[in-house]
Amino acid sequence: MGTIAARVQREATEAYSLFDEKGWFADPATYHRDPPPLEDPDIETIEHKGRKIECLTFDSLYEPHENEPGRERWLSYKRNPTARAWILRHQDEERPWLICVHGIRMGTLNKSMMRFQPEYLHEELGLNLIMPVLPMHGPRDTGGLISGERTLSGDVMDTLHTGAQAMWDFRRLVSWLRESEGAPAIGALGHSLGGYAVSLLASLEEDLDCVVAGNPAVDPSHLFWANAPAVATHSLSAEGIREETFKALLRPVSPLALEPVVPHERRGIFAGVVDRVVPPVQAHCLWRHWDEPRIGWYQGAHQRFIRAPEGRKILEETLRAAGMIRNGEASSQG
């Protein structure tokens, strides 16, 4: 661990100098480049528990900036460049689309279907669903014991590139939904690390109609330092790396450092008051940063998510504000 910590310290020092020089700390949005539109992804249709699911894949084409620390390591992850998403669509008429982003340790079709409850979002609310796989998760993982484990491993540049590539891939998906699929409206819903991702997307993608962050993990630095094994944090501390170091370097991919471009009335947040995975203070910090939009608190823990009536209420109110559901398409029941 000591050797890795020394490399992390070296990369952090180099990155801090580069980011400061490029102005990415002063204006984090300028760190992100506009990706090319997605025009012709591969789509295969499969049967999954009685439903037809489209499996979409495409070459991400994302690369870290030239001379950016950790660039070569990131490009060496063989399975990560193939971006993936699962699609559940209605065949009868044009419907709004909801981008559903999973949390850490997720990214498989089974887990995404469990988390995003198609019987509610797809059938009851009448939405088309697209469930992208975050970088380094599920089928994009590098073969680690836990899906997405590199995202919060202490390798701060890997954490940063996870966020940056997610934005690149998701913005390409938005372009495809608009231009190729004729989407009348596009919203985003995320859980945990996915809540972080959609919150960041709401600051970069102007062609997004609404965003709802559930149990949002908007401060990955704190999550790592609060939950990592002591041997990891001690090794990093011995090299002069602190939580504040991580927080500073992750500023270009922090939803708390960028300003949202999604209109205020189309933003929503909900979280569990006894969430021990993502402390409720993270949702509160996002709420304050977003100028106090609608927010819902439920009496429950992390995994309850949209099973909670309070979560559904916030989601439906936000979707309705964006014109994505009509009054009859709602339940607000857990």
Q: List, for residues 85-99, the tens digit of each pLDDT value.
A: 999 999 888 899 999
145, pLDDT greater than 70:
no
DSSP string across 231-263: HHHHHHHHTT--HHHHHHHTGGG-TTTS---S-
126, pLDDT greater than 90:
yes
331, pLDDT greater than 60:
no
Find all residues with CB under 8 Å of 58, minimum gap 6, and list them. Answer: 38, 41, 42, 82, 83, 172
pLDDT at res. 333: 46
Q: Is residue 184 a contact partner of residue 215, using CB atoms and an 8 Å limit?
A: no
pLDDT at res. 236: 84
Mean per-residue pLDDT, 182-187: 96
Q: List, for residues 197-236, the tens digit of each pLDDT value.
A: 999 999 999 999 999 999 999 998 888 877 777 887 888 8
Which position has the higher pLDDT, 57 or 150?
57
pLDDT at res. 334: 44
The alpha helices in the chain, defined as continuous H runs, are: 2-22, 71-75, 109-116, 118, 156-179, 193-201, 220-227, 230-238, 243-249, 280-289, 309-321
The burial of 325, by beta-carbon neighbours within 10 Å (0-12 exposed, 13-18 middle, 19 or more buried), is given as buried
Q: Which CATH superfamily is domain 2-321 in?
A: Alpha/Beta hydrolase fold, catalytic domain (3.40.50.1820)
Query: At 12, is the secondary structure helix, strand, or coil?
Result: helix
Query: At 101, is the secondary structure helix, strand, or coil?
Result: strand
Beta strand 51-59 with 210-214 is unpaired
1, pLDDT greater than 80:
no
Q: List, for residues 284-308, the tens digit of each pLDDT value.
A: 999 999 999 999 999 988 888 999 9
pLDDT at res. 2: 63
Residue spans per domain, the chain: 2-321
Which position has the higher pLDDT, 61 or 91?
61
The predicted model scores a pTM of 0.94
pLDDT at res. 4: 85
Distance between CA atoms of 282 and 216, rounded to whole angstroms?
7
22, pLDDT greater than 80:
yes
Confidence of residue 74 (pLDDT cuts 50, 70, 90): very high
pLDDT at res. 147: 61
Dihedral angle over CA of 171, 287, 223, 29, nearest 10: 40
Distance between CA atoms of 198 and 209, rounded to whole angstroms?
12
pLDDT at res. 234: 81
332, pLDDT greater than 50:
no
Q: List, for residues 256-266, the tens digit of each pLDDT value.
A: 999 999 999 99
